[in-house]
Structure 1
């Protein structure tokens, strides 16, 4: 018979760690932190780990969120194993960095944060990166937790939220060397081979549009200049003369895309020709 005298272990009291400083524009009484980690409606992981779990919030870190979604698409276990729930409202998150500038070897760095996430005053909805909604009326926490750890790693939300390096984010999340290719100097056929190889080998990819000095190019396209997108794959569609080379992408906002598929989920396809026209570069993690 089971030992009924054994008492269940008491859950540790939640810890409240110092939080990274919010963006300068949010450093006032209208903004703060909500106790997302202790809200039982929220789950660290709920529907598994997918690129569609990740939504960029009110901060200019598309470079990081698009990279996070890219790694979620190709190596979900890398994300899952890189987040440790300590059971006390704190989480350890793993990033990678080179041992030194010239090194090809990466070492793990663990950053500990609590489950409080940035929000507007009076709201329990995360203001920056947020996860997929759950059937329990909450959200998945892992995107916001990883982003918060990145802010802690970089010195604050202001330091990581005014643009940044997609290659650096991919490197830190994947622990892999990242290759950069410019669409202006890479022939179309060569770019296609790179994209196809990365697709077949399950390598995380992200692409950036051109600068705001070419803003007119994007008018009416539902694409945005100076913005990073997750590349979800490259493949051919059609046959014979109708065969086209296609690049599939996702807007880290989780909405707004070219085309009219009726979903407005941020996922869309472009021909390779249009991809080369609207995007300036691709970063591929050699995972």
Structure 2
């Protein structure tokens, strides 16, 4: 059961943060993962997508690829602060942390963004067809999408590319294998057919490469690695290569 309610809170609490994103009851991890990665990598660009219209609504800018002109065109969607809510008052779809416990400290940009993408595509039912993280990143940044299959033989090259993209403030999302590969993830708490945002990476003194990821659910992390809070965990790059199938980002058009 659900109702429609007007929510309160601020658009941003300081700068956009990866932890602001909580995926709700729709299968849109591609968008939630992309929003998380953008917030972690280039939050200032994310903040520029939103503008207040009045006390009850915001305009949200998205970038749609125009096939005729071969470029991205900005579309503005006006979104009200009315959302589907549970009887408890919690959001049914994209959630804002602290919304129920402390509305004054809630960041509303993620549920507003999710609603804008739903309106662009004629409703939340659009998310039932799934999507890809690289196209979601393009929708937010207006840059050409790019993606790679993750192969162990190309792990070194892909590591260098990931370092270059994060250094250039271009977000990266990793996707796991489809549900038919569920056996690969048995007892790991890694979710098949799911998107994880890259929120950090570094190389240790002995050359071990580490990557920090975030599950946009805001919870459920691999049992082998410490839960760092808000769905964040760190694992060796070599293991990530074996568990993830698709690398997604955007290209610099220059």
Give your verdict on TM over 0.5.
yes
**Partner SS for 2:165:** helix
| Partner of residue 210, structure 2 | 246
Deviation at 1:196, TM superposition (A): 1.2
| Partner of residue 102, structure 2 | 137
Deviation at 1:98, TM superposition (A): 2.0
Question: In 2, distance between residues paired with 1:182 and 1:73?
Answer: 23
The CA RMSD over aligned residues, in Å, is 2.0
Deviation at 1:169, TM superposition (A): 0.6
- 1:32 corresponds to 2:3: yes
Question: In 2, distance between residues paired with 1:43 and 1:32?
Answer: 22
Per-residue CA deviation, residues 228-260 of structure 1 (Å, 9 max, x unaligned), is: 110123321232xxx311121100011111244
| Partner of residue 109, structure 1 | 75
Q: How does 1:86-125 map to 2 (within 5 A)?
A: 86-100=53-67, 103=70, 105-120=71-86, 122-125=87-90
Mind listing any 5+ residue stretches in structure 1 that lack a counterpart? 1-29
TM-score if structure 1 supplies the norm length?
0.81
1:282 to 232, 247, 250: 247
**Partner SS for 1:108:** strand
Deviation at 1:286, TM superposition (A): 2.6
**Partner SS for 1:238:** coil
Q: Tell me: CA distance 1:186–1:194, structure 2 relative to 1, closer, same or farther (3 Å).
A: farther
How many correspondences in the alignment?
249
Mind listing any 5+ residue stretches in structure 2 that lack a counterpart? none
Structure 1: 4+ residue segments shifted above 6 A: none
2:133 to 157, 166, 170: 166
| Partner of residue 237, structure 2 | 272
Deviation at 1:220, TM superposition (A): 1.2
| Partner of residue 172, structure 2 | 205
Higher CA-based Rg: 1
